[in-house]
Structure 1
Amino acid sequence: MSDIIRDFQGLPATCISDALNGLTNMDPAIKPVSDDLKVAGRAYTVKLRAADNKQVLKAIKEANEGDVLVVDGRGYVHNASCGDFVIGLAKTMGLAGVVIDGAVRDIEGIRELNYPVFCKGTTLAASDKHGTGETNVEISCGGAVVKPGDIIVGDADGVTVVPKEQEEEVLEKAKVKLEKDEKREKEILGDSEKVLAYIEKQLSK
């Protein structure tokens, strides 16, 4: 894992979102299969036709260790973009996680893998394997533009995209935001008078 990916992994996704003015967040319905899971890594993208997941396998073969597989499943939730076996393939190949604008199945098996999977939910039906789609191209995932190599960060609050050309600037802004948040909490929380003073100040703006 590179230093910059490690730094992003140590930050709340909310701070990163704030550093980007909330403009690159994915649909808030895309959440981790377990709240304790977090993902950070460079995007390897997949564009699918709904109910066709052969390109997911192709992407798992092509992606580099540490990449995050980002799947444009067009938000379709009636057929799963993958199940626990395919997610197990991604984990075995060293991918950092999988983010899907769509659904998965075999949710209990996926949770047992203790591996970062973010999606819109679960379903029963499998997808076909016709091979329609592309890999390693610009996509839209959950309403956010994702280009290959962009940094993807996700946690229990959701997933945001850090454009590659802005990553250093965004990292520094997110660090400053976290420091400010932590300082505010330390100075105000636990003291009712300071809480009231803070609220009055906010209401007077």
Structure 2
Amino acid sequence: MYELGVVYRHIPRPDRTAADGLATLGSATVHEAMGRVGLLDPGLRPVLPSQQISGTAVTVLLQPGDNWMLHVAAEQILPGDMVVAAVTSPCSDGYFGDLLATSFQARGARGLVIDAGVRDTYALQEMGFPVWSRAVSSRGTIKATLGSVNIPLVCGGMWVNPGDVIVADDDGVVCVPSAMVACTLEEALERERMEDAKRAQLAAGVLGLDLYRMRDPLAKAGLRYID
């Protein structure tokens, strides 16, 4: 059961350097580095392609067809944050558009992840404000029912706590628990170094069959070559 009608003003945020470092690695590498956990539903897609960002989560619980709490949340944004919004019941209405984006940008928000709809997508693209959403809809919302800001919530099927780090790009959105940011960054950097080495071998003509030692397992599985 969610806590309603509250705004937590002071949330713990992890080391900014480590949080920012995850953006350079991307969602796939970070997801793998955490042991293939933390990935939000792939139905959350970017409105503005070719973005690769990270930021600390300011969470917002919304009510169906009501974006009141997004306005409340704007006051809690610090530079480097990403707003993560969920709804108490599925809704595809356009909760967020260029006016709220202008407000969020002025506060230093890096983007929005919302398990609902957005609108004004052309303007959002022109502004260069990154958004990952479940839907796009011209249908607007009202401002009448309280939700909450900076409480733990489920967005895209993933539990997100205020202050967790969100990594988002064209491949998807990943939530890194704040306590795991430093170790995830270290593991992700090591994966990146290993992939760079493999990439060099593949570029030199080495086959994945040999690089990953696949030939014996394939033979044991019954693969036959016929000339």
When the two structures are superposed, what TM-score results if normalisation uses the length of structure 1? 0.92
Preserved CA contact (<8 Å) 1:100 1:118:
yes
Mapping of 1:1-205 within 5 angstroms?
A: 2-73=16-87, 76-191=90-205, 194-198=207-211, 201-202=213-214, 204-205=216-217
Deviation beyond 2 Å, 4+ runs, structure 1: 73-78, 193-199, 201-205
Distance 1:4 1:121, change over 3 A: same
Deviation (angstroms), 1:78: 3.0
Deviation (angstroms), 1:74: 5.1
Deviation (angstroms), 1:86: 0.9
Letter in 1 for 2:207: K
**CA displacement, residues 65-104 of structure 1 (integer Å, 9 cap, x when unaligned):** 2111100135734311211211121112111111111110
Instruction: Give the root-mean-square deviation of aligned CA atoms.
Output: 1.8
> What is the number of equivalent residue pairs in this alignment?
203
Preserved CA contact (<8 Å) 1:99 1:118:
yes
Distance in 1 (alpha carbons) for counterparts of 2:191 and 2:157: 25
Distance in 2 (alpha carbons) for counterparts of 1:79 and 1:57: 16
Structure possessing the higher radius of gyration over alpha carbons = 2
Distance in 1 (alpha carbons) for counterparts of 2:87 and 2:216: 46
Percent of residue pairs identical = 26
When the two structures are superposed, what TM-score results if normalisation uses the length of structure 2? 0.83
Deviation (angstroms), 1:157: 0.3
Q: 1 or 2, which has the higher strand percentage?
A: 1
